[in-house]
Amino acid sequence: MSDIKDVPPNTLTLFGIIGGLVGIYLSPYFPTAGALGAMCAVVWGADAVRRVAKYGLGTGVPSIGQLALGMGIIAAMFSLALTRSVTLAGPILALITASIIGLIIGWLAQNVIKMKIPVMIRGMTEIAAAGVLIILGYSATVAGNYVFAGIIPKVFDNGVILAIFWVGTLAMAHPFNACLGPDERQKRLLYLAVSTGAITMTLMGIAALMTLGVSGVYTIIVGIILWLISYKKFWDEVYKDVASVLGTGLLPKTEG
């Protein structure tokens, strides 16, 4: 499979950061944009998980997703609370804070716990940053904005944040967990990441129906459409990869 070129990590990083931030900043005007931004972060995060978890974490892929979203919630709450007067700076500060926490945990994992994963520090930084964008993006879709005073009553008090935590974790960790193995390919994984992100978006649409009313309907519809498209694409990729495994032909009956 070496002839197939992967999308380089830097491209996906830019895609995740820019897509995520733009989505979050557009959410006060069009709440569905928050979830679209979070989906960009899911795709980026899933690829970062792929690069780190390839080395074998010894404890299952989902654990790194839980770590990411755990760091993400801490960073998101901190940044939004601190920027109450300058709300525009919130998401950017959250991204920076999460990256710093991820960098520290990555450094400790590499040098104190000695995990021997060469991409650990960069991977953990990226995963934490993607985690915070996932939290903020989906929260913004449910709350209709990204300010502390708006997110607390509409996302924290009613417990939607726990759904974001869990479903967001799965959206990020499931693609690699499902695709890992010797025939794992990035393209298939990325389509699956889009599809898990879209399912999460649909679920957040249901939550937004409760908090925002009609804009939740748009989120649900866009989420279902994106899910159907990306799942079909994933399905096609699976068939293509299966064909390349089966296409090697049967074993010869007699030794030549």
Partner 1 sequence: MVSLLDPTMLTNIFLIAISGTLICIAVHFIPVGGAPAAMAQATGIGTGTVELAAGSGLVGLLTASHMYAGEPNAPVSLVLAAGAMGSMIMMASVGIACGIMYAYGVGVPFASAQVKRDPITGARQDLYVSKGTQGHGVPTVCFVSGLIGAALGGIGGALIYYVLVGIYTPLITTSAAAVAGVFTVAVFYVNSVIPSYGVAGTIEGFHDPKFRRVLPKDAVTSFVVSLLSGIIAVMIAGGMV
Helix (H, G, I), strand (E, B) or coil at 112: coil
Name the segment binding partner 1 (CB under 8 A); options: 60-68, 179-187, 212-220, 231-239. 60-68
Of the residues 21, 53, 57, 193, which one makes contact with partner 1 according to CB under 8 A = 57
Identify the residue whose tokens are 């960073």: 75
Please report whether residue 221 would count as binding partner 1 according to CB under 8 A.
Answer: no
Q: Candidates 15, 30, 55, 156: give the one binding partner 1 (CB under 8 A).
A: 156
Stretch that binds partner 1, among 77-85, 138-146, 180-188, 238-246 (CB under 8 A): 77-85
- Residue 89 in contact with partner 1, rule: CB under 8 A: no
Which distant-in-sequence residues (6+ apart) come within 8 Å of 198 by Cβ? 39, 223, 224, 226, 227, 230
Taking CA 38 as the corner, what is the angle to CA 32 and CA 41, rounded to the nearest 5 degrees?
Answer: 155
Q: 62, 91, 123, 144: which one contacts partner 1 (CB under 8 A)?
A: 62
Q: What is the dihedral of CA 159, 178, 239, 202, to 10 degrees?
A: 0
**Three-class secondary structure of residue 256 per DSSP:** coil
Q: Which candidate, 102, 96, 67, 68, places its Cα nearest to that of 83?
A: 96
Binding residue (CB under 8 A) for partner 1 from 3, 10, 29, 58: 58
What tokens appear for 17 in the block? 């950061």
- CA dist., res. 83 & res. 85, Å (int): 5
Among 12, 17, 24, 67, binds partner 1 (CB under 8 A): 67
114 binds partner 1 (CB under 8 A): yes
167 phi, psi to nearest 5 deg: -70, -35
Place of tokens 């032909």: 249
Contacting partner 1 (CB under 8 A), which of 14, 18, 89, 162?
Answer: 162
Residue 204 near partner 1 by CB under 8 A: no
Q: Residue 62 and residue 109: Cα distance in Å, rounded?
A: 17
Q: Report the C-alpha gap between 125 and 75 in whole angstroms.
A: 12
Q: By CB under 8 A, how many residues form the interface with partner 1? A: 41
DSSP 158: T
- Does the footprint of partner 1 cover residue 210 (CB under 8 A)? no
- For residue 215, the minimal CB distance to partner 1 (Å) is 23
Residue 74 in contact with partner 1, rule: CB under 8 A: yes
Find the binder of partner 1 among 55, 78, 231, 235 (CB under 8 A).
78
Residue 59 contacts partner 1 per CB under 8 A: yes
| Binding positions for partner 1, rule: CB under 8 A | 57-60, 62-64, 66-67, 69-71, 73-75, 77-78, 80-84, 97, 101, 104-105, 108-109, 112-115, 148, 152-153, 156-157, 159, 161-162, 165
